[in-house]
Structure 1
């Protein structure tokens, strides 16, 4: 049974993953623990705020409102990738969901379809609200998606989970649609790549005579990053026998754009990913554009992708213009 992280350990885990953390208000003691259990911890839920503006969104998630007091999550992920910590403990974010989904998360299995809202998720999940209007048109900047990836990987790494422990709110309950505008399957792929190839490089046991500077020089890591990763503050005292987390290099950026999921395209997105896809379709001789391509998904994009599906020789039932994973991977859309 996984116990909640202390405030210092949570902060250190996020910073070790390269997250730009901003501590908001009295987040360390801001929680709803007096209303119920906090733990055992089993996973992470990603939300969108249905709001705009960083200051107003963070304040809303910290304070909550009359019908639902705050904190409404543990962290708020801004458009620029900054992460505001607003709570530490039980938060009003997950609500009722499907017990079978919780079992799948615990077992790190494929998620079942949500059919019942028969289990309180607030004791079991960390929650992160991402600033987005949730209308399918509000863009998701790469800095924000990168922060979601890093936050999720940090918690997975702290608990020894895989990315299967990270779910969207809509995957927890049939009553919600968040996060809308990107694919959670694609996000889990990003998280797994980070867990496998990037992030922390290990730990180091302090020896007599060591300083943060000497440890940093020996491992090629700035000493301030080691301090941040371990929650150390001035005067930065370390002691022999102490175990320190050593931040590693971030995962290499993928060469091609990962498959954003068919839901992304069906949400009528406006995104540079759509432009990159269109340009690639033109390059391979599958254009259906009178002008463009541009960032707004249109019927011309769907017609062009249908040409690509036919070019691949796919069965007619799979040539509907909606991108599938294998078809997308074969197109090799450059990373944007």
Structure 2
């Protein structure tokens, strides 16, 4: 079975989870399960990026990107995983992006990730902005299929 890329939706003014669920033919409970960053089903915000489809073949279970290794995070790397990570950093209020993340590893990604590491309580060289397995696993980057 061929896997398809996970679908995301950017919340617009006036949206709510019920309306979004109806648009994408899913339930509010599914949206909540696929978006652990949403703690209150009545509180979503304009420009928030939410997952509106499960990884194909998972039956709707939440699936996260496995840690790709610290060597993955280099300026020459371009991957949808980096963009998905960036949107999770925005959701965690750790962003320093001026125009939003993209798929190429950048200084803004590293600075945003350093903010995430500090939010988790890391400091010094443990908050250098290069993802490690512990901080990556806690970020819950949604699985992205090409």
Match of 1:311 among 95, 119, 133: 119
Aligned to 2:102: 294
Residues 85 and 141 in structure 2, CA contact (< 8 A), matched pair in contact too: yes
The alignment partner of 2:94 has SS state of: coil
Is the aligned partner of 1:285 residue 2:93?
A: yes
How many pairs does the alignment contain?
A: 89
Alpha-carbon distance in 1 for matches of 2:71, 2:125: 18
Alpha-carbon distance in 2 for matches of 1:261, 1:300: 19
Structure with the greater alpha carbon radius of gyration: 1
Shift of 1:334: 0.7
Q: Structure 1 or 2: larger strand share? A: 1
Deviations 1:100-141 (A, max 9, x none): xxxxxxxxxxxxxxxxxxxxxxxxxxxxxxxxxxxxxxxxxx
- After superposing on structure 2, the runs of 4+ consecutive aligned residues of structure 1 that deviate more than 2 Å are 251-254
Q: Which stretches in structure 1 are left out of the alignment for 5+ residues?
A: 1-17, 19-79, 81-141, 143-250
Residues 303 and 321 in structure 1, CA contact (< 8 A), matched pair in contact too: yes
Using CA pairs below 8 Å that are at least 6 residues apart, which structure has the higher relative contact order? Answer: 2
Q: Which stretches in structure 2 are left out of the alignment for 5+ residues?
A: 6-56
Instruction: Let me know the Cα RMSD of the aligned residues.
Output: 2.2
TM-score calculated relative to the size of structure 2: 0.56
TM-score calculated relative to the size of structure 1: 0.25
Alpha-carbon distance in 1 for matches of 2:65, 2:75: 18
